[in-house]
Structure formats: C-alpha cells, structure tokens
Amino acid sequence: MPHKTYLAIDLGASSGRHIAGRLQGDQLSLQVLHRFENGPVTVHGHMHWDVLGIWREILNGLRVARTEATGEITSIGVDTWGVDFGLIGPGDELLGNPYNYRDSRTVGMIEQAAKIVPKAEIFAETGLQFMELNTLYQLLSMKLTAAPMLDAAESMLMMPDLFHWMLCGNRANERTEASTSQLFNPQTGRWSTKLIEAFGLPEKIFGPIVEPGTRLGRLLPEVASETGLTDVEVVLPGTHDTASAVLAVPATAAPSAQPDWCYISSGTWSLMGVEVPEPVVTERCSALNFTNEGGVGGTTRLLKNIPGLWLVQECRRIWNQQGHTYNWEGLARAAAEATPLLAVIDPEDPRLVAPDNMPATIAELCRESGQRVPETDGAIIRCALESLAMKYRQTLTSLEELTGGRIETIHIVGGGSQHELLCQMAADACQRPVVAGPVEATAIGNLLMQAVSAGDFSSIAEARQVVVASFDVKRYEPTTQWSV
C-alpha cells in the first residue's frame, strides 16, 4: 500500500484539532498539527458559535499542515458535534452566527412540537430521542418567532457541512450528521418530508443527503492560495463526531442485531450505544428515550446521549473563576481521595444542562434527594463521576433489553478514555470489562473513512483492523461490586 497522508479537522464543543494520519502498510500514525479552544459566545442573552473564529483556526491549521505534515496531504474531512446548523442565503451568504445547542430559545419547544405532531408520531418517523437541543426544536423556535433568517435561507447546512462548504464551495448534507436533527427518517435515509410539512418548515433548505466517503470537491482557489495546499480534495467522513469515533472502536465483530460489545464515546458528552444493521424504532425504544443515528457503512448507532465530562468541565471552570485553579490531574486525585458513593445524582437532570454554578447545582440535587451533600471539591467531582458510571449501568441494561443479548465488553474511546478513575468506575458499576482507547478516536475514524473512500481499504471492517494494529488500549476489570 502506498504511503498516503490524510487530514482530519476534528471540532469539539470545547476544542478543535487538526490531525494528520499517514498510512504505512497496516499501521496508521498520527501527527497532531494544530489545537485551539472552542466554545459558545453569549450575545444579548443568546449563545452562538464563533463560526468565523473557528474558520480562522481551520485556515491556520491548514497552513501548519502545508509546512509540517509528514507527506503530502491528499484529502481533508471535517467532523463536529451534532444538531447545530448554519443558514445560507442568496449569493452564498452566511445568515448570522449559528446558535449553540445550549441556547435557551428551545426551552419548552418539545411541548410546542407535541401540540402539532404527537411525540409518538415524531419518534415513529425519526427514531430519535427527545432533547430540546435537537435541530427540529431550534427550527421550530425560529418558525414560531417568525425569524427573518428562516424565510431568507436557501440552505440549511449542519455544522460540518457548513465548514465543508467553506472549504470547497459545494453544499451537501452528510447522513450521519443529518440523522441527529430529528427531521431525518432512518428507515428511508432521507429527510422526513412528513415532519417538515407538518411543522411548516421551508422544504427548500433541506438539501441532498450524501453518504460518508463522498468526494465533495477540491479546495476553493482562494483557500488553496491562502493555505498553500493545492490539489487537495474534501472527502466526507462520518461527519458526526460519534460516527467517526465508533469507526475507530478496536472491535472485530461485525454489526449485529445482538451485538456483544458497546461503546462510550467519552468527552463533553458520553454517547453510549451499539452498532446495529437496522434502526430500532419501537415503543420500548421510545420509552427508554434511546436514539437511532446514522453510522458509517450504512449502519445505525442505537444509543443514548448522556451528559458526560461536561459536569467536571463546568465545575473546573467555576472553581478557576473563584481562584481555585485545578488541572485535570489534580481534580482526578481529589476525587480518588474522596469518600466513595456518598451520593448519586441523575446526569440527565435538566438543571445540569447549563447551570450558572455547576458545583452548587450538584450539591443542591444531592440535598433535594435526601443524600449526604458533598462538602469538598473532590467529593463533588467524585459524585459527578460515580453518577456517570451509574448512568452507564442503567444504559447498559437498556441496551441489552433492546437488542435481546448480553453485552460482554464496553469500549470507551475519546478523551474520557484517559480518565482512569472513570474507566474503573464504569467497570465496577457495570460489572463488565472496559477497554479504554484510542484517545483520538474521532480523528482516527475521520482519517480511516477518507482512506476507505480513496480505495486503501475494501471495507469498514478492514479499516477497523488498522485501529487494532496501530493503537494501544488499556483494559479495566471489575474489582468491586457496587450495591447502589
């Protein structure tokens, strides 16, 4: 196999990175070229993404790639979080700054939507769990407030689609990202015209759905000139970051209706689920508030979106503002030294979505439930981590119910796979072995999908073998059994 170098632009809710991947036989080596911070910006009480600031950093990273990447870059792909979007108007004009999914404009929108289309019908059409941050409720809030941008828009581009458009000028909606919108039908693989019409949304803004691996076009001349990258194609990975991360799970079993492994893509969110051949759109799936999202290779990711290390990130942010500076290692040590299983809260409590003071909110939830209130910073972090582990146990039980089989192994990928205390807690709470790694799973999956598109691999399964051969993982066995 010839040596080829691909570039993944992996954008998370709190940071972004450019990672080059070089294929040498059955080995993939990574080169981190550029990292930058990301996050919402509040203007007049509304939370937005600094999309032009992100674009500036994308260009900065492409310049670095031109001079520092090992080998010549042949293609580029972008992955991001789900649900958020930008609107494009006449003359290729970006209409405003895209909203952040934590913005308050969607509060109460699930109830408003249910007045128009019953929740059971929405789930039957989309197979998606109900969260106020979903694209459907963002668009419905614009519709109900007569937002002029919605009337002026020609296209809705989900966030990775938006950046691909900036890179090459072509508009398309990649399937895995579109599947997070609650306006996508996983059984037809197309936008749900039934819901689009029922909610009175402009049908013209919903463009063609394309698959991961689609070659979208070459970099625009002005982008090539500004970055020095010439003759480089834009190739769509699984543009939803979890779709890319699941591709990088070091598992060899093919997708099955009764899978024996599950994944947790662990970062700001914990996305816990299984890879199945077909969507599971049943009343029980709806009752458990699970979701069916698109995966690479035509698969479905049956999963639950769980607030993840967001709880810890927000605690750290508040304490740093108060002058109590912590690094991640310090927080982990403090949590390890705290009393085990002092209190457990529900990470999905709506008050944890965007609280003014996360530590105070966690303490209040413990107080309300009659549990002992964590009094130290370490105890608060331990409460957050143990609560996540208990949610993993609950989710594992539900996954086994929905698939009708026993899940033997939990794979934790992404940044959270480095959190040794959380990985051990997950093993103990679930009474299953946990395989942790690789850390840069999202970027790896992005790179491998580009390689599949280029013909370097004949299948997703073959590409996944490279993950097994190229990256070390750490195994955690259950050591104690939690009685809660």
What's the mean pLDDT in 335-343? 96
What's the mean pLDDT in 299-323? 95
What's the mean pLDDT in 117-136? 96
Higher model confidence: residue 252 or residue 82?
Answer: 82
Residue 483 pLDDT class (50, 70, 90 cuts): confident
pLDDT at residue 2, rounded to an integer: 54
Share above pLDDT 70 across residues of the chain, in percent, rounded to a whole number: 99
Catalytic residue among 79, 84, 103, 241: 241
Q: What pLDDT, in 10s, does the model give residues 202-249? A: 999 999 999 999 999 999 999 999 999 999 999 999 999 999 999 999
This model's pTM is above 0.75: yes
pLDDT at residue 3, rounded to an integer: 73
pLDDT at residue 1, rounded to an integer: 46
List the domains of the chain with CATH numbers.
4-235 (3.30.420.40), 250-484 (3.30.420.40)
Residue 332 pLDDT class (50, 70, 90 cuts): very high
What's the mean pLDDT in 354-374? 96
pLDDT at residue 256, rounded to an integer: 82
What's the mean pLDDT in 109-126? 98
In the 3-class helix/strand/coil scheme, how is the chain assigned residue by residue?
CCCEEEEEEEECCCEEEEEEEEEECCEEEEEEEEEEECCEEEECCEEEECHHHHHHHHHHHHHHHHHHCCCCEEEEEEEECCCCEEEEECCCEECCCCECCCCHHHCCHHHHHHHHCCHHHHHHHHCCCCCCCCHHHHHHHHHHCCCHHHHHCCEEEEHHHHHHHHHHCCCCEEHHHHCCCCCEECCCCEECHHHHHHCCCCHHHCCCEECCCCEEEECCHHHHHHHCCCCCEEECCCCEHHHHHHHCCCCCCCCCCCCCEEEEEECCEEEEEEEECCCCCCHHHHHCCCEEEECHHHCEEEEEEEECCHHHHHHHHHHHHCCCCCCHHHHHHHHHHCCCCCCCCCCCCHHHCCCCCHHHHHHHHHHHCCCCCCCCHHHHHHHHHHHHHHHHHHHHHHHHHHHCCCCCEEEEECHHHHCHHHHHHHHHHHCCCEEECCCCHHHHHHHHHHHHHCCCCCCHHHHHHHHHHHCCCEEECCCCCCCC
> Is 241 known to be catalytic?
yes
